[in-house]
Amino acid sequence: MQPVRTVWRIEQARRAAVLVDGAAFFAAVRAAFLKARRSIFVVGWDIDSRTVLVGDGHPPDGHAATFAAFLTELVEVRPELRIHLLLWDYSLLYAHQREAIPRLSLQWQTPPQVTLCLDSTVPFGSSQHQKIVVVDDALAFSGGLDLTIRRWDTERHELDDARRIDPAGAPYRPFHDVQMMVDGGAASALARLVRQRWCHAGADAPEIVPPVAPVGDPWPDAVRPDFTDVDIGIARTQPRYNGEAGVHEVQALFLESIDRAERSIYIENQFTTSPQIATRLARQLRRRPALEAVIVVPRSQDSFIERRTMRNGRIRFWRMLRAAGGDRVRFVYPSVEKDGRTTDTMIHSKVMVVDDRFLRIGSANMNNRSMGADTECDLAIEAVGEGGAAAAVRAAIVGIRDRLLGEHCGVAATAVAAALARHGSLVATTDALGANGHSLRPVDDGRLDRGLLSRLAERIADPARPLRLGWLAGRLLPRLLLARSRAVMLVRSRAVAPARSRAVAHRPGLAIALVAALVVALTLAWQVTGLSGLAQPEEMAELLLAGAGEPWAFVLVLLAFLVGGATAFPVTIMILATAAVFGPWLGLLYASLGAGTSALVMFGLGARFGQEALGRLLGARWERVRERLRRRGLLAVVAVRVVPVAPFTLVNLAAGAGGVRLADFAAGTLIGMAPGLVAMSFLGDRVAHAVAHPDVGEIALLLLGAAAWVALSFAAQMVLSRLGSRAS
């Protein structure tokens, strides 16, 4: 550990403990929060209000189990406590994995002592990936675990555990992760780091954030430290942005520790795609013929996107190590079997143990983006020297490695130590151990996917540096154009209806490319401009206040809705802000006219530029689709207005391109949006109350209203269908 080069700083911790798996981490966090007197900072890639913050059993403190409710009760008991929550303002690609409206659940429904900040300031293509909790600047946690759902599990990783379910009641597979807890100077240093992150994200100006001032001793009583009076190295990754140089201590520490390995390397990591780390591991395996490496990874990723974008890199990583180390390397996943059924434990941890003298636990994966694109924080402990203190550190490091390996093999750490003494080999021990249905098995990722789309997706999903728009344009567009030109040449070479082939190849392809470009442009607009900062009612209301009381106020509202429609701005935010500024009656009128005008403009654009492309692309099928939409267009529009399955702008464009009749579209929009417009303009407080504090009466009223509007939409559809039949 070398300050400035491989670590940010080295600070002493009076105590340090390794918390293995979610039950241990959640229990320790809960106990520390109960001791908090002044401040709590939570910085994460994800934070979910529904997280069940308990250990291996029910909480004995009498407070609520779920995260947001627990925080609410905490500040009610201790009003002087301030809680700061910072999470990444995530990419839409991860929307299906996240809580839908975190600002509603973590800020609007919690007391004012709880402050939420969505970090959208990292560069395009990067993420806020640090997972740090700091209590009273005196205790800190850092590692791979977020305070979110689908993370809780015990060290037993049982195939069936009724407590391992998500808020929807769906079970998930065993989950493994590791966190380190430190106090003393190391905790104070992490307190400085989270304040820097807080100010970078724009939550407060630096002069407003209170200085670091440790108070009390929030260390959980039930946790026994693994280390005492030990130096903690803190390594970071931070991309270059806002005029600040990039920080690459995480990568430097990986490479330096690999270069010093002599006998064994034990790794747990979710993603292994970094060619720099693979190259350095392969080189060290060749330099040290006695060196062994055991790498524990997930069998596969939970997310379809991650499977498609990380698989090729992992295959190359493993091939390079196998070529260099042969039978001295294992690339394995934890298997769990019971009564003839099999599953696997999800490896989310980021752990590295080198020989008996270096331990590293953090948030950084061994992929490209953790080396330079995302924000990361790893903690490291190094046994230096040969004295009694160094020997105690070495013994603790070995004990933690044996505990982790034993967990995956279904045995205790003492059994791992005995097997290592018997075999004299980490690899042989890994191969031999297995009990209680648990074992480590070889990973088989199959063959590389050499398709163009896979290569491009990999470059975008796992970049070593933040994505640059110029690079995207310079690399993606020429390849896409080349692929398209090859497809056109193939059509021509086959001489199948040349004129029609050219039309099909050119016109629909161009239209689809334009739609894709529009989607990319809208995404970039939200990522690199201030649009995301306006996506809350209070911010939009401040913008509209400029026209309140002025004769041209309606023009301002209309322009705001038109611009919002062109940039896929949330129409709900626009309606709430309009009602807040102009009152229920004028707000309802202005919002109705603004939303209607915006919808019609987007519908017209879709009809003008989308129908011809779909007709050429689908051929005769297009006429059948159009006929169905003509007969049931109004009902379809009402359905997506009452239950919005896609953004307002996208629905409008799709309706125009899909051939929905203008009369059906207008009537369906009016019928479908009317309940929401009225509710948000006149009954906003009751709707918010029903969401925040649902009871039988509130829910029954909402369901009754929804049923009434669905019935009305069916009646309107029948009337319009009869009128259409008579007219024809």
Flag whether 593 is in a domain.
yes
What residues pair up with 296 in beta bridges, in sequence order?
268, 332
Flag whether 41 is in a domain.
yes
For 233, the enclosing helix (H) or strand (E) is strand 227-238
Residue 666: what pLDDT?
81
The pLDDT of residue 726 is above 50 = no
The pLDDT of residue 218 is above 60 = yes
Q: Which of 50-64, 129-143, 236-250, 598-612 has the lowest mean pLDDT?
A: 598-612
Written in H, E and C, the secondary structure of 47-76 is CCCCCECCCCCCCCCCCCCEHHHHHHHHHH
- Mean pLDDT, rounded, for 434-441: 96
Same domain, 594 and 500: no
Residue 370: what pLDDT?
96
Residue 243: what pLDDT?
77
- Structural domain count, the chain: 3
R_g of the chain, CA atoms, integer Å:
29
| Residue 73 near residue 64 (C-beta atoms within 8 A) | yes
| Residue 614 near residue 623 (C-beta atoms within 8 A) | no
Question: For 246, which DSSP code?
Answer: P
pLDDT band (50, 70, 90) for residue 442: very high
Residue from 340, 358, 361, 339 nearest 350 by CA: 361
Residue 588: what pLDDT?
76
Same domain, 494 and 588: no
Flag whether 14 is in a domain.
yes
| Residue 96 near residue 88 (C-beta atoms within 8 A) | no
Token digits of residue 197: 């992150």
Flag whether 627 is in a domain.
yes
Token digits of residue 282: 């392969």
- Mean pLDDT, rounded, for 15-40: 98
* Helix, strand, coil percentages, rounded to 5, for the chain: 55, 15, 30
Flag whether 315 is in a domain.
no
Same domain, 585 and 711: yes
Q: Which amino acid is at 680?
A: M
Percentage of the chain lying above the pLDDT 70 cut: 70
Same domain, 565 and 703: yes
Residue from 703, 698, 677 nearest 687 by CA: 698
Residue 530: what pLDDT?
47
Domain boundary among 178, 206, 225: 225
Domain boundary among 199, 225, 251: 225
The pLDDT of residue 15 is above 90 = yes
Residue 623: what pLDDT?
53
Number of H helices, E strands in the chain: 23, 19
Flag whether 639 is in a domain.
yes
Q: Which of 145-154, 415-424, 666-675 has the lowest mean pLDDT?
A: 666-675
Same domain, 486 and 619: no
Percentage of the chain lying above the pLDDT 90 cut: 51
- Whole-angstrom distance, CA of residue 442 vs CA of residue 331: 6
Same domain, 489 and 551: no
Same domain, 141 and 90: yes
Residue 598: what pLDDT?
80
Flag whether 649 is in a domain.
yes
Q: Which amino acid is at 707?
A: A
Tens digits of residue pLDDT in 181-205:
999 999 999 999 999 999 888 777 7
| Residue 279 near residue 320 (C-beta atoms within 8 A) | yes
Which residue pairs from 59-63 have beta carbons closer than 8 angstroms and sit at least 24 positions apart in sequence?
Answer: 59/30, 61/30, 61/34, 63/34
Same domain, 496 and 559: no
Same domain, 503 and 557: no
Same domain, 577 and 490: no
Written in H, E and C, the secondary structure of 379-444 is EEEECCCCCHHHHHHHHHHHHHHHHHHHHHHCCCHHHHHHHHHHHCCHHHHHHHCCECCEEEEECC
Q: Which amino acid is at 654?
A: A
pLDDT band (50, 70, 90) for residue 630: low
Residue 601: what pLDDT?
84
Q: Which domain holds residue 93?
A: 10-225
What residues pair up with 134 in beta bridges, in sequence order?
41, 140
Residue 650: what pLDDT?
65
Same domain, 502 and 540: no
Flag whether 203 is in a domain.
yes
Domain boundary among 225, 248, 281: 225
What CATH number does residue 33 fall under?
3.30.870.10
Same domain, 486 and 631: no
Of residues 306 and 395, the one with the higher pLDDT is 395
Token digits of residue 530: 């201030």
- Mean pLDDT, rounded, for 35-54: 96
The pLDDT of residue 438 is above 50 = yes
